[in-house]
Amino acid sequence: MKIGFIGLGIMGKPMAKNLLKAGYELVVTTHKQATIDEMVAAGAKGVANGKEVASQCEVVITMLPNSLNVKDAVLGPNGVLEGAKPGSVLIDMSSIDPVETRKIGAAIAEKGMEMIDAPVSGGEPKAIDGTLSVMCGGKKELFDEFEPLLKQMASSVVYVGPLGAGNVAKLANQIVVACNIAAVAEALTFAKKAGTDPELVYKAIRGGLAGSTVMDAKAPMMLSGNFKPGFRIELHIKDLTNALNAAHSISSPVPLTGQVMEMMQFLKAYGHQKEDHSSLLKFYEKVADVSVEPEK
Ligand code: NAD
């Protein structure tokens, strides 16, 4: 099966490489020519835009930052829809607003194209290892058809419900991750200001109920002052914006999410938006006037 892949950033590039390794023929495009060249060297075919991708493939995967990028790549000039054949399938693996997912699905359905939303969690290391978690929305029979393809990039692939349900699950994931990182940063800052060694506090609590995948991924980054992304603050702001909009539209209050969103806005105001979301620590360091990171 020939697969199209659009968007070869932090996540898309390793995911596409895993499909190549699994033996799929790939036609790819992204904004950065150097990345297209790298993928061509790895065995993919590189083309200029989504229209060319779709004209050569029955299945097109998108892995783009946000709703507007997906709309642009699919519905915009030289986009997927201009080149797509009736009966072809769009698998959008980006994390976007579920309301926009359904709008894109309706627009492409008019031209006989079908859609699955299949956002992921796990970050760059799991994208490289092919052990992402994928949460899917769309027709169940379409999901069944493409589950084996998704499993080449993931260790967990779960069907959640109709189109948009994958992105609802992803927003739930992002709410939990944001609040969890903030809690870890709050606790380590408190530990430092209380005169203890935050590294030893982390070691002491990580095996108990407070321990979590988030704590083990992010506390070591905070303690070593390493905020290289990973997952950028600006992308998490995008997800929390989508979460707040989606939650408010159905009167489902999300007070903790609102608080962490404001911390992220504070970090953006200080120019930290390109850093990993573990830099939430810097919010606490500033407001508590203490340094948890090692002296530079
Ligand atoms: P990224 O910014 O690194 O990559 C996106 C790529 O898409 C860029 O290379 C950009 O040039 C390209 N692009 C944008 N518009 C395009 C267009 N119209 N046509 C072709 N290429 C285009 O982002 P990422 O970190 O890979 O994230 C992608 C998605 O995955 C986002 O929705 C993000 O929220 C989600 N996600 C990211 C992570 C993570 O840890 N980075 C984890 C889980 C989910």
The ligand 1 site (C-beta within 6 Å) comprises: 6-12, 29-32, 63-65, 69, 72-73, 94-95, 120-121, 123-124, 230-231, 235
pLDDT category at 293 given cuts 50, 70, 90 is confident
For residue 64, report the distance from its CA to the centre of ligand 1, in Å: 4
- pLDDT per residue as tens digits for the range 176-211: 999 999 999 999 999 999 999 999 999 999 999 999
| Cβ neighbours around 222 below 10 Å, total | 28
Contact 75, 104 (CB under 8 A): yes
Least confident of 54-63, 176-185, 260-269, 285-294: 285-294
HSE on the CB side for 290, CA within 13 Å?
A: 18
169-288: which CATH number, 1.10.1040.10, 3.65.10.10, 1.10.443.10, 1.10.20.10?
A: 1.10.1040.10
Measured distance CA(47)–CA(268) in Å, rounded: 35
Residue 158 confidence (pLDDT) above 70:
yes
* Model pLDDT, residue 18: 98
| Annotated catalytic residue within 17, 45, 51, 170 | 170
Please, what CATH class does the domain formed by 2-163 belong to?
alpha beta
Residue 236 confidence (pLDDT) above 80:
yes
Measured distance CA(96)–CA(243) in Å, rounded: 10
* Model pLDDT, residue 217: 95
Cis peptide before 230 (omega within 30 of 0): yes
Domain ranges for the chain: 2-163, 169-288
Known catalytic residue: 192?
no
Measured distance CA(197)–CA(218) in Å, rounded: 17
HSE on the CB side for 163, CA within 13 Å?
A: 20
